[in-house]
């Protein structure tokens, strides 16, 4: 909208005074709104203006202060207190609110010992030091100690090895330096992957223990002044966090694929496949420095080195470390708050909006920054209802518990209610921690155009442009060449794809529910994540002091909810999806091609002994391992499916340009075809070695965790050089895309014949 | 050679036992030798075998120990003692040896004060701490203090600003953060440019003082264990060094362009244009840390931050610094040792071999590692003479004094003897510090093919391949894509171009003498450079303990000297040059093109206010300055010249494939045309704003110092957006290349008609 206005203005200046009379911005109702007829769009805009008028930053602030007043992790008194409080709020706003309880495994530390036993001695402190400038940091008795949730118990002593981020390619570098971690304890930096990947890969490589520390280069003094002078991690700060193997399946490790109801059959926790194979503990850089300083052996590669004032050696040893961990393996209730506002016209179609409420400690940013926006959205909707409005479709507000240990609340709720969800849920709209700056949005590309219209209508609180336009500016100024090109040439912002990291996972990747995850960031960096310093004091000093972005988030997500709830026809669109999936196709083909030429190049270098000739005799560097040549894969099933997807998307777009007079029954039929289309992208078998993940377009990487893999079956097979599997996955992914295209064609048929040209 | 052998071997294995009989390597005399007829080549190989047999690592070790036993900077007793000692050695080996003296300005510190005066106090130590493990590090009374030579006197107090490497683009980043250094003292890291650029640019930007420190990330604990445990810079280590504005002209600042003879007319040192405009002092990271820690203001950009355990803020202030420097502005004699072996057949053609002998302190690596190889070459040649050999051409061994303060010895000698040099010198062969690992070679591309044949015949001491092949392996394994392509596709290793940094500058860039600079490196990294730790103990522990690479250097440079001295016709070749200059042409055109599209892109981003939209209100980042659009330049004069160069190079190559029976007079004529061809590349006017630099292909960058700029007139005009000057320089460079092509055509005509095809 702003761009078009600017265009008119410029044209006016060129044409002189008379023409300038035409430069008044077009009335708001002229903006097209996907799924709304023009008149309905005008009404919708009026509604949104009323909605915006309700939003009050002070409410966000008050709730954040209230909800973060005490640590509120799973099993804590304040976790339940918060759930009850929110249920009460929802009820007071006119919602039908309840608390759904699941019973999940939630281990907490009984014993944590970490010592350097040789050649020098050091006993790790393993405690974050409260600061007087932070009102809640001293609630030591209520805080969970620093630990990684779902580490196994263990008592190990061994030489230490520094493994950088502890991802597979780091071990390739170690192998080239003749270093094997078998029987050793590894120390990895946070970053480079989701934390749970580090102990998983370390165990695969034969390590017997794993430490994870936050290097000051990444979120300590290497980034800026440390807390409380600045927002970055002080010497004693440590990042708690789950190490559950969520890329295999999230949720209670004892009930894979089904709900953790009170009497559900449970695995023995000692046999649960998603609990780590080795003990793992997060530590501060204050505790890490003496350990790292005691290492000898080769220097770590230059880009592995952090900001501690020591040479970063790899080991192994002579540093020897004793790590002893024991946990209370208790089952705890998790309290999911579910608040419902019944739809007036299509009550069977549910719009779900969610954010978790549990935290590792006080959790002002994570998760309350997103949750308080959600609460304000719910309250504002309640006010609209009081003023006479009703949503056409049912709206549900969810506050999940147990996200931090492994999406426990949302996953168990999704598994318990899977059938209803697949039958009724139109879309799942998630937020989590959010601060200040740039829009971040990822999700189903069937909602991309819809979301672009939402973002076009929300103003950035700091700049005189929409949140979409500001994000495009970021891409143009500092994006990758690809992002720059998109921002220049593509009308819509290309939204990201979802991996893992918050509660959308079970809805999108297990059940095929179209999902979005939205937040703001880039101007609120700090080192407080999952520490005692993620507090109200920290948030209001360094994150979003005025809650202006919290309000912008409520405007954004509120619009998503309102438009999905009230659209004449659900605002799904498939050409943007088709464009993006075609891009994924190009990427996986390029990946195979690059691997082929790289493999050939490396084979030649190996045959010519080039690596031997380069190696420094004083710092041995073995040649990389020889790799099998990359065969040509049959991408035809994918290419054929992409062609069909494109045709179907076009057909649907054309049908929707028609006169659009559908009976209520046909609208219902069309809606259902639309919102269940994404389910066609699930495969019954799921992904190789992790059947819980069924979506063929998006999954968290098996070896990256949070990081998404698009076309995951194909991409990971290629990356892992499993050629037969790659061929099989190309067929399976192609079939899913064809099923999806079929459903879109059916939707096109229901939407009506194409208009005469 | 190895590659061909390997090829035969592989072929043999395929053909079976009978064929394998043919796999004996071809006899050495079958290797072609540029400038030698086949029979002469065979004799040359025999001579080189005898030469190699003379080389003794023990001599290099003994001389290094002797010459580094005391500090031997300009003006020190041991500097003269070393010169006398070497002159004696040369005489004992049968050379006509003398010491040529120039009288040069050489300031040394009288007063050095550096204090943090607010908000906290700190007085800098400004002294390197000797270590017991290093025998010479404690010779404190004989050592020059840590200082930058040719800093002006000064007494300034001001707020401090951190400027990264202190190069022009760093100031653009500061400007975007609203930081102006006018009236401030800047602190810059060593690295990113030659050190003299830092005070030069700081003064241009209005700063009143400059500190330069070695960040531990670059050569301290960030690279490995510090001295004496490892080779890297300890907390008190500081890098001495010249800050003379050598990119304007090197040599005595008081005698620009002419020799500093005893009674030469001299400038007043207070008006010498190459002495800094502001006081500048090098400091250790131990002294830098309290200063940097006292800075506030915005964080430095991520890639500016070093390895000190502090947040790197930019300032300005609140740190306030007092810097006071005063120097003894004395004139000192510099002692150039010149040893000559008269040529038997072409005594008027001189082959010059040089390395400096002065050091900042004990200088084991810099410069003695190269100098002891040169001495051994001279001794071995002396032995060949004793056994009856005489070089056809005159051979000169030079040991320059005063290189460290600004190429004082070599430049004044070159300026004093300019006419003779341009008349007689065939080539100048330079070395300087050298350690272990990979061949590094740069110089005139007319000698590229010649040098490749030399390097082909010298074995790497650690690997079973030639030094050329090992270097190619490095390029193949970790070179830039361009270097990889060259190493794959180009028969010859592409040698580098010479900027500045050692004594070849006056010969190549001022007088147009074909030059080479050679050394080994990559496996001897450390932090000892220009400190008290560049000692015999350090070198023999960490650099080249067995002197095997010192011997390889002597083999390499000895072959260069022997082949140039004894060739039938001088081994110049022009097709490799033509290929490389064409590449430079492509580069400068691409540079202009990239600047054009970048400028357009930036103008669009500015017009659309994209930078404003991205800026974080809490950390203001101003838009970059608008740039004038880049016009299309007329590259035709360059393209036409390049075409003529290619034709002339081809003509000469074809002529040399002829029967090659030239009279002695014609050979002399041809030789002279060949070795004076490079002088055609000089322009009378020199480069803009620095007429001393006359070579149109190679110059040190005006704003990079050591770093070479090829086609410097054109490239720097484009980089600095001086479009009229760029057009003028294209014409001038084109004219120089055409003059050169004309001389090559004359050489082709003398070499004889092309053979019948």
Q: How far is B248 from chain A (nearest CA, A)?
A: 35
The CATH label, of 1.20.58.1690, 3.10.20.740, 1.20.58.480, 1.20.930.40, for the domain at A575-751 is: 1.20.930.40
Strand-pair partners of A109: A327
What phi and psi values does residue B697 have, to the nearest 5 degrees?
-100, -35
Among A55, A36, A54, A56, which residue's Cα sits nearest to residue A44? A36
Please give the average per-residue pLDDT across A256-282, as a whole number: 96
What share of chain A has pLDDT > 70, as a percent?
Answer: 95
Among B672, B428, B446, B435, which residue's Cα sits nearest to residue B561? B428
pLDDT of residue B194: 94
Checking if the pLDDT of A578 tops 90, the result is yes
Q: How confident is the model at residue A657 (pLDDT cuts 50, 70, 90)?
A: confident
Question: What are the residue ranges spanned by the domains of chain A?
Answer: 38-103+333-468+497-566, 108-329, 575-751
User: How many angstroms from the chain centroid is the CA of residue B179?
Assistant: 34
Is B108-329 in CATH node 3.30.413.10?
no
DSSP strand pairing (B346-356 vs B708-710) = unpaired
Q: Is the previous residue joined to A617 through a cis bond, with omega within 30 degrees of 0?
A: no
Cβ atoms of B737 and B648 within 8 Å: the answer is no
Q: How far is A69 from chain B (nearest CA, A)?
A: 27
Among A165, A143, A22, A172, which residue's Cα sits nearest to residue A78? A143
User: Residue A521 CB: number of other CB atoms within 10 A?
Assistant: 16
Which tokens go with A60?
């966000």
Q: State how far the Cα of A145 lies from the Cα of A360, in Å rounded to an integer.
A: 10
Among A747, A513, A730, A723, which residue's Cα sits nearest to residue A641? A730
pLDDT in tens, B107-156: 999 999 999 999 999 999 999 999 999 999 999 999 999 999 999 999 99
Q: Tell me if the pTM is above 0.90.
A: yes
Please give the average per-residue pLDDT across B552-581, as a whole number: 98
By C-alpha distance, the chain A residue nearest B471 is: A614
Q: Which residues of B touch A437 (CB under 8 A)?
A: 616
Cβ atoms of B269 and B275 within 8 Å: the answer is yes
| DSSP state at residue A599 | H
DSSP string, B338-375: EEEE--SSEEEEEEEEEEE---SSS-IIIIIIHHHHHH
Best A220, A306, A613, A617 residue to mutate vs chain B (most B CBs within 10 Å): A613
pLDDT of residue B13: 30
Checking if the pLDDT of A659 tops 90, the result is no
pLDDT in tens, A201-251: 999 999 999 999 999 999 999 999 999 999 999 999 999 999 999 999 999
C-alpha distances in Å from residue B81, one per residue of A676, A740, B411: 91, 88, 22
Please give the average per-residue pLDDT across A524-547, as a whole number: 97
What is the rounded radius of gyration, in angstroms, for the C-alpha atoms of chain B? 27
Q: Which residues of B touch A (CB under 8 A)?
A: 216, 221-226, 230, 232, 299, 305, 307-311, 437, 460, 462-463, 465, 469-470, 473-474, 476-478, 522-523, 605, 608, 610-614, 616-619
pLDDT of residue A22: 35
Please give the average per-residue pLDDT across A511-536, as a whole number: 97
Length of chain A, in residues: 757
Cβ atoms of B376 and B330 within 8 Å: the answer is no
pLDDT of residue A705: 75
- Burial (CB < 10 A; 0-12, 13-18, 19+), residue A1, is middle
Inter-chain touch B618–A523, beta carbons under 8 Å: yes
Closest CB from B437, B522, B610 relative to A476: B610
Sign of CA dihedral A673, A679, A681, A685: negative
pLDDT in tens, B334-356: 999 999 999 999 999 999 999 99
Interacting residues of B668 by C-beta distance below 8 A, sequence separation 6+: B346
Closest CB from A460, A477, A616 relative to B610: A477
Q: State how far the Cα of A315 lies from the Cα of A358, in Å rounded to an integer.
A: 39
Q: How confident is the model at residue A660 (pLDDT cuts 50, 70, 90)?
A: low
Q: How confident is the model at residue B30 (pLDDT cuts 50, 70, 90)?
A: low
Q: State how far the Cα of B127 lies from the Cα of B67, in Å rounded to an integer.
A: 24
Q: State how far the Cα of A242 lies from the Cα of A280, in Å rounded to an integer.
A: 10
Q: State how far the Cα of A292 lies from the Cα of A371, in Å rounded to an integer.
A: 39
Region of poorest pLDDT, from A579-593, A611-625, A658-672, B63-77: A658-672
**Half-sphere exposure in the Cβ direction for A211 (13 Å, CA):** 35
Please give the average per-residue pLDDT across A71-86, as a whole number: 98
pLDDT of residue B660: 64
Closest CB from A311, A437, A470 relative to B224: A311
Checking if the pLDDT of B94 tops 50, the result is yes
Closest CB from B221, B309, B474 relative to A221: B309
Best A297, A610, A622 residue to mutate vs chain B (most B CBs within 10 Å): A610
Checking if the pLDDT of B418 tops 70, the result is yes
Q: Which residues of B touch A231 (CB under 8 A)?
A: none
Q: State how far the Cα of B114 lies from the Cα of B154, in Å rounded to an integer.
A: 12
- Burial (CB < 10 A; 0-12, 13-18, 19+), residue A132, is exposed
pLDDT of residue B10: 31
Closest CB from B225, B307, B617 relative to A309: B307
Report chain A's mean pLDDT, rounded to a whole number: 94
Checking if the pLDDT of A511 tops 80, the result is yes
Inter-chain touch A470–B613, beta carbons under 8 Å: yes
Inter-chain touch A299–B222, beta carbons under 8 Å: no
- Burial (CB < 10 A; 0-12, 13-18, 19+), residue B24, is exposed
pLDDT of residue A743: 98
Best A9, A10, A222 residue to mutate vs chain B (most B CBs within 10 Å): A222
CA dihedral A565, A570, A576, A580 (to 10 degrees): 70
ipTM of the complex: 0.92
Closest CB from B307, B477, B610 relative to A614: B477
Inter-chain touch B309–A216, beta carbons under 8 Å: yes
Which tokens go with A650?
């076009």
Length of chain B, in residues: 757
Cβ atoms of B580 and B646 within 8 Å: the answer is no
pLDDT of residue A1: 19
pLDDT of residue A620: 86
By C-alpha distance, the chain B residue nearest A462 is: B617
Q: Which residues of B touch A619 (CB under 8 A)?
A: 523
User: Residue B350 CB: number of other CB atoms within 10 A?
Assistant: 24
Inter-chain touch B222–A311, beta carbons under 8 Å: yes
pLDDT in tens, B423-471: 999 999 999 999 999 999 999 999 999 999 999 999 999 999 999 999 9
pLDDT of residue B381: 98
Please give the average per-residue pLDDT across B256-267, as a whole number: 96
CATH of the domain spanning B38-103+333-468+497-566: 3.40.630.10
Q: State how far the Cα of B247 lies from the Cα of A134, in Å rounded to an integer.
A: 55
Inter-chain touch A618–B225, beta carbons under 8 Å: no
Among A677, A355, A692, which residue's Cα sits nearest to residue A516? A355
Please give the average per-residue pLDDT across A652-668, as a whole number: 85
By C-alpha distance, the chain A residue nearest B225 is: A311
What's the first-to-final CA gap in chain B, in angstroms?
28
pLDDT in tens, A132-191: 999 999 999 999 999 999 999 999 999 999 999 999 999 999 999 999 999 999 999 999
Strand-pair partners of B18: none
Q: How confident is the model at residue B658 (pLDDT cuts 50, 70, 90)?
A: low
pLDDT of residue B752: 84
Which tokens go with A539?
């948030």
Cβ atoms of A22 and A12 within 8 Å: the answer is yes
Inter-chain touch B476–A605, beta carbons under 8 Å: yes
Inter-chain touch A610–B477, beta carbons under 8 Å: yes
Q: Is the previous residue joined to B226 through a cis bond, with omega within 30 degrees of 0?
A: no
């Amino acid at each position: 909208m702003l761009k078009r206005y600017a265009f008119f203005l410029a044209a006016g200046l060129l044409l002189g005074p008379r023409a300038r009379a035409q430069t008044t911005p077009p009335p708001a109702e002229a903006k097209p709104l996907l799924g709304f007829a023009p008149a309905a769009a005008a009404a919708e805009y009026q509604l949104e203006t009323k909605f915006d008028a309700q939003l009050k930053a002070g409410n966000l602030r008050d709730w954040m202060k209230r909800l973060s007043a005490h640590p509120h992790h799973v099993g804590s008194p304040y976790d339940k207190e918060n759930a009850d409080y929110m249920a009460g709020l929802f009820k007071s706003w006119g919602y039908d609110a309840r608390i759904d309880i699941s019973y999940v495994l939630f281990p907490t530390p009984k014993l944590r010992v970490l010592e350097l036993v040789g050649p020098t001695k050091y006993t790790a402190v393993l405690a974050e030091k409260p600061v007087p400038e932070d009102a809640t940091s001293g609630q030591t008795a209520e805080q969970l100690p620093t630990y990684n949730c779902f580490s196994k118990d263990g008592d190990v002593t061994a030489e230490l090895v520094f493994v950088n981020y502890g991802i597979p390619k780091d071990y390739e570098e170690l192998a080239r330096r003749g270093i094997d971690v078998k029987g050793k304890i590894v120390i990895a930096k946070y970053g480079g992957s989701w934390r749970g990947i580090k102990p998983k890969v370390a165990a695969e490589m034969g390590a017997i223990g794993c430490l994870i520390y936050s290097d000051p280069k990444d979120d300590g003094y290497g980034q800026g002044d440390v807390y409380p002078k600045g927002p970055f991690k002080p010497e004693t700060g440590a990042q708690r966090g789950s190490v559950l193997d969520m890329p295999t399946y999230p949720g209670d490790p004892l009930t894979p694929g089904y709900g953790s109801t009170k009497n559900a059959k449970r695995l023995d926790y000692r046999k649960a496949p998603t609990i780590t194979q080795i003990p793992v503990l997060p530590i501060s850089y204050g505790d890490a420095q003496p350990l790292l300083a005691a290492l000898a052996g080769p220097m770590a590669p230059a880009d592995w080195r952090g900001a501690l004032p020591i040479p970063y050696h790899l080991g192994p040893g002579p540093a020897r470390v004793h790590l002893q961990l024991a946990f209370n393996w208790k089952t705890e209730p998790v309290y999911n708050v579910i608040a419902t506002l019944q739809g007036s016209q299509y009550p069977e179609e549910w719009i779900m909006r969610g954010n978790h409420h549990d935290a590792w400690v006080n959790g002002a940013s994570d998760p309350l920054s997103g949750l308080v926006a959600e609460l304000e959205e719910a309250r504002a909707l309640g006010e609209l209802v009081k003023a006479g409005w009703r949503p056409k479709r049912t709206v549900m507000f969810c506050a999940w518990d147990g996200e931090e240990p492994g999406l426990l609340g949302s996953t168990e709720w999704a598994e318990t209610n899977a059938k209803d969800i697949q039958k009724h849920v139109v879309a799942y709209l998630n937020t989590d921690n959010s601060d200040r700056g740039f829009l971040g949005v990822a999700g189903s590309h069937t909602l991309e155009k819809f979301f672009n219209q939402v973002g076009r209508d929300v103003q950035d609180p700091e700049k005189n442009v929409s949140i979409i336009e500001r994000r495009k500016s970021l891409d143009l100024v500092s994006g990758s060449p690809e992002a720059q090109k998109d921002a220049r040439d593509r009308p819509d912002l290309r939204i990201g794809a979802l991996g893992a990291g918050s509660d959308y996972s079970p809805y999108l990747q297990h059940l095929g529910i179209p999902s979005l995850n939205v937040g703001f960031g880039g101007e609120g960096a700090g080192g407080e994540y999952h520490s005692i310093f993620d507090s109200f004091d920290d948030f209001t000093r360094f994150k979003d002091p005025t809650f202006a972005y919290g309000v912008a988030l409520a405007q954004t997500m509120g619009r998503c909810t309102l438009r999905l709830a009230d659209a004449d026809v659900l605002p799904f669109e498939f050409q943007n999806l088709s464009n993006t999936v075609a891009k994924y196709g190009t990427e996986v083909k390029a990946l195979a091609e690059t691997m082929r030429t790289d493999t050939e190049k490396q084979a030649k270098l190996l045959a010519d002994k080039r690596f031997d000739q380069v190696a420094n005799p004083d710092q041995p560097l073995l040649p990389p391992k020889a790799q099998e040549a990359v065969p040509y894969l049959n991408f035809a099933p994918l290419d054929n499916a992409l062609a069909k997807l494109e045709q179907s998307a076009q057909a649907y777009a054309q049908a929707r340009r028609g006169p659009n007079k559908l009976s209520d029954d046909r609208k219902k039929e069309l809606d259902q075809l639309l919102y269940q289309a994404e389910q066609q992208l699930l495969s019954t078998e799921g992904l190789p070695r992790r059947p819980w993940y069924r979506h063929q377009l998006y999954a968290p990487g098996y070896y990256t965790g949070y990081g998404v893999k698009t076309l995951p079956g194909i991409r990971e097979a290629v990356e892992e050089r499993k050629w037969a599997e790659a061929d099989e996955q190309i067929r399976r992914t192609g079939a899913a895309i064809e099923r999806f295209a079929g459903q879109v064609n059916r939707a096109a048929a229901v939407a009506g014949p194409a208009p005469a040209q």
